[in-house]
Chain A
C-alpha cells in the first residue's frame, strides 16, 4: 500500500466515534444523542465528536441540553426505560461527579432493584486525560469509582478501530456502559474499522507478544507502553502488551493466561494508584497465580494528588514510557 493511499484511509479516534454514532443512528431509530453542545448549531460538541449528527438525524434525536448533568443522565435513563438507546455525553469525566446519583444509584441499579422488569441501555460518553494543562478538575481518570459499582460496564479504547467497535457494542448492550475517551489522543490517525465492526465488551487485545513480562494498560497508557517496548527489547526484555480496552468487566482469561506464561506483570493507568483498577488486577493475579509469579505485580498510576497545572508537574503526574521500562526491568531483575 502506498503512503498516499494509506494516509487517505486512516481516521482518528474522534472521527471513529463520530462514524460509530452515525452508523448506529442510521441502523436503529431508537438511538439518541444528548449532551451539552452536541447538536450542530452548538458546533457538534466542544471538540466536534458529534458534529454532523443533528444535521443528518435532526435535533429531535440529537439534542443539545442545558448544563445540567443530573438532568442529562436522568433523561437518558427515562428514555431508555421506554425503548430508546440514548448516548449521553458528559463533557468531561470530572463532571460525572455531579451526576453520580443518576449513574450509580439509578442507571446501574434499576435492573436489579426492579427484579429485571426494567433495564437501562444507555451509553455515557465522557472525555478526560492529562496533557492539556486543564488542572485539577478537568482531566481525572475516575474509572475505578464506576468499576466498583455493580451494574455498569466501563470501557476505554486506545485506537480508532477499538473506539468504533466498542462504541457499536456499547450501544448494542442492554445495560449502561461508561465510554471513556482520552482527550489528548483524539486526533492520532490510525487504521479505521470497517462499517459495522464490533469489539466485544470485556475482551482485551494482545498488542505485542512476549515472554518475560506482561504490561497491562488502557487508554493513553497503551501509547506509553508501546513506546516502552523497543527500549525493553534493547535491554533484552521480551514484553507482552495487553490493551485491556474493557475495564469492567475485564478480560481475566487473556490477562491470566499471559501472566501465567511470563510470571511478571506491570499494570499501568493514568488514574491515581491507591484503590485503583491496578489494585484490583494485581489482587486477582496474586490470588490466582501466586505460585507462578516470579515477582510481585507492579502498579503504575498517577501521583496521589490532584492533577497539577504547571507543565513539568503535569508531565510528571502520569506514568511515562521510561517508568514502564524501569518497572519491567526491576521485575525481571528481582
Chain B
C-alpha cells in the first residue's frame, strides 16, 4: 500500500464516527478514533497530565536558553510539540513500570518522573547526574523512575523493551514496558524483529511510535511506504491504533487500553501517536527542509496552551492554579540548573570505572 493508498485500515479502533467526549478539544485533527466508549481521565488526572506537559515545555524553553547562553554544552533534540504523548501515557504507569526511550526523549523521561536535579546535572555532564555525567542527554538512565535505557540508536529501544517485558512475564510482576520511538524507526529492522517477537511471546509491552512526520531531515512521505504506521501492527497480529498524539484525552484512552491489556496478559499493542516536531532535528538545524506553513499550523495548534485553555474552560482548573503550577515548575528548573552547574565534574578516574564490575580490566 503506497503512502497515498486509500484502502481501509486494518488497524483496530479506526472506524470513524464523529463522537466527541465531553470537554474534548474541539479543533484536534481527526484521526478517526471513536471515543464513545473510551476512558476519560478524571479531573485530577487531567491536571496531572497538564503538569507533565507544562514541565516538558518549560524544560525545552529552558534548555534552549541555557545552551544558547553557553552554560551547558550538549547535543539537544527538542521534543517540543510532542508533550502530550508521554504525559498522557505516564499517568497510566507507576514508577515500577519500565520505559525505553531514545535521544529525542527528554519529554518521555520527565513525564516518567526523572528528578530535575539529577537530569540537569547529567545534561551538564556533572558527577551528580543520573549517570555521573558518563551517559549524557542521549543515554539518561534512572531505574528508580523506571527509565531503564535511553538509546541514541534509531529503533534500538524496542528489542530491549521486549527483554524487560519478558522479565516481567517470567516474574509475573504485573509491570508493563513502554518502548518509545519515532516514525523513522518503523523503517528499521529492529522494529519488525521486535514487534514479531513481542507478538509471538505475548509480551506486556506497548510500542509507542511518536509520528512527528520527520525522520531527521526526511519526511514521512518520502521514507515510509505504509499509509499509516499503525497498519504495520496488522502484519504482526497485534492491535494497531492510530491516535491524535496531541489530544490528551485520545492519547490517555489509547494508552490506558493498551496498558490494561498488557497488564492482563493480553500482549503487545502498537500505538501510532500523531504529532509534529516544532523544531529541526537537532538544535542548530535551521530546518529549511520543513514546510513553513505546515510547521506554523502545528505551532498554532500547540497542544500545551490548548489543553491549558480547555482545563480552565471546563472548570477542571483555575487560571490561578495553573499559574501557580507553572511558577513551581520554573522554580524547580531554576533550582535544578543551579544545582547542576554548581556540581563537580567527574574525575578522570571515571574513565576506568563502570566499564566492567571490576572497573576496567
Residues of B within 8 A of A82 (CB): 98, 148, 164, 167-168, 171
Quick check: is B347 within 8 A (CB to CB) of the other chain? no
**Looking at the complex, which of A10-18, A72-80, A178-186, A295-303 is the stretch in contact with chain B?**
A72-80
Picked from B134, B160, B197, B361, the residue with its CB within 8 Å of the CB of A112 is B134
Report the minimum CB–CB distance from A279 to chain B (whole Å).
20
With A78-B163, A82-B168 as given contacts, are A68 and B193 in contact (CB-CB < 8 Å)?
Answer: yes
The A44-72 residues at the B interface (CB cut-off 8 A) are: 60-61, 63, 65-66, 68-71
Residues of B within 8 A of A110 (CB): 141, 149
**Looking at the complex, which of A100-108, A134-142, A206-214, A282-290 is the stretch in contact with chain B?**
A100-108
On whether the beta carbons of B156 and A117 are closer than 8 Å, the reply is no
Residues of B within 8 A of A40 (CB): none
Picked from A61, A74, A75, A111, the residue with its CB within 8 Å of the CB of B356 is A111
On whether the beta carbons of B165 and A78 are closer than 8 Å, the reply is yes
Quick check: is A202 within 8 A (CB to CB) of the other chain? yes
Nearest A residue (CB) for B195: A71
Picked from A63, A78, A111, the residue with its CB within 8 Å of the CB of B160 is A78
On whether the beta carbons of A70 and B190 are closer than 8 Å, the reply is yes
Nearest B residue (CB) for A249: B361
Report the minimum CB–CB distance from A172 to chain B (whole Å).
11
On whether the beta carbons of A175 and B139 are closer than 8 Å, the reply is no
Count of chain A residues with a beta carbon within 8 Å of a chain B beta carbon: 46
On whether the beta carbons of A118 and B141 are closer than 8 Å, the reply is yes
CA of A240 to CA of B158, assembled, Å: 49
Residues of B within 8 A of A81 (CB): 148-149, 160, 163-164, 167
CA of A86 to CA of B167, assembled, Å: 10
With A75-B166, A77-B160, A102-B156 as given contacts, are A117 and B197 in contact (CB-CB < 8 Å)?
Answer: no
CA of A74 to CA of B131, assembled, Å: 21
On whether the beta carbons of B162 and A151 are closer than 8 Å, the reply is no
Quick check: is B69 within 8 A (CB to CB) of the other chain? no
Interface SS, A side: mixed
CA of A282 to CA of B156, assembled, Å: 37
Picked from B134, B152, B164, B193, the residue with its CB within 8 Å of the CB of A66 is B193
Residues of B within 8 A of A84 (CB): 167, 170
Quick check: is A114 within 8 A (CB to CB) of the other chain? yes
Residues of A within 8 A of B193 (CB): 66, 68-71, 74
Residues of B within 8 A of A174 (CB): 356-357
CA of A84 to CA of B54, assembled, Å: 38
On whether the beta carbons of A112 and B354 are closer than 8 Å, the reply is yes
CA of A117 to CA of B129, assembled, Å: 12
Residues of A within 8 A of B361 (CB): 153, 202, 249
With A71-B194, A74-B194, A105-B156 as given contacts, are A79 and B131 in contact (CB-CB < 8 Å)?
Answer: no
Residues of A within 8 A of B156 (CB): 74, 101-102, 105-106
Can you list 11 A-B pairs, Cβ within 8 angstroms, ordered by A?
Answer: A66-B200, A78-B161, A79-B164, A101-B153, A101-B190, A113-B141, A114-B134, A115-B131, A115-B354, A151-B355, A202-B361
5 residue pairs, one from A and one from B, having the closest CB atoms: A78-B163, A74-B159, A115-B132, A115-B131, A114-B141
